[in-house]
Structure 1
């Protein structure tokens, strides 16, 4: 295996793209390519890649994946390793919903946790060298 790129289902893709831009992600690709009426987008920040797809696009496809939940959020926590966690936290803390502020864990990581605009939980962590 070489990489993992979650495909996260959302209701409003433009709102999601704008939210992840706050976190420093850039848009790598969209469908359609014009970016106006997106049903799918790939975003990247460093080595982290997320794909976002509208729930509505599932209903329009021939293989509508009935096992995919049609609600935002879920029992999923995305754990993202970063460098300079304090700078990231300071840059975004007033622009996002912070669930847990910066804290040092018993296993030596410094972490904080936020809620994205689709009710997914994101934990950012910096591990001691």
Structure 2
């Protein structure tokens, strides 16, 4: 009985620790998505990666226009249709195309580009409007 109580306690603490709350959830905004892929000149350089991640996170924390964001690295590709050649990906959502235009011109974004543009050899951007439900 004692082990059962201890197990239930641990499960309860773990569940409450990792459960999403309304305050901690970010809702994806389907109005406008800005997807960016970065290819680094030296993708294995840990200092370059640290600089990029710190600068990108700082920029996104200070953006007045970005609603939600996702920073990713490619997984090990298991299917031929998966392109894992990039170094980082970024998906940012906006409430409108106009908000995305403001994001392009805001100082936080311009500072990020200035701090990191020397790291990449290629950047591809895909912008998309959401399809109305």
Output the TM-score relative to the length of structure 1.
Answer: 0.33
Which of the pair is proportionally richer in strand?
A: 1
Which of the pair is proportionally richer in helix?
A: 2
- Relative contact order, CA 8 A, sep 6+: which one is greater? 2
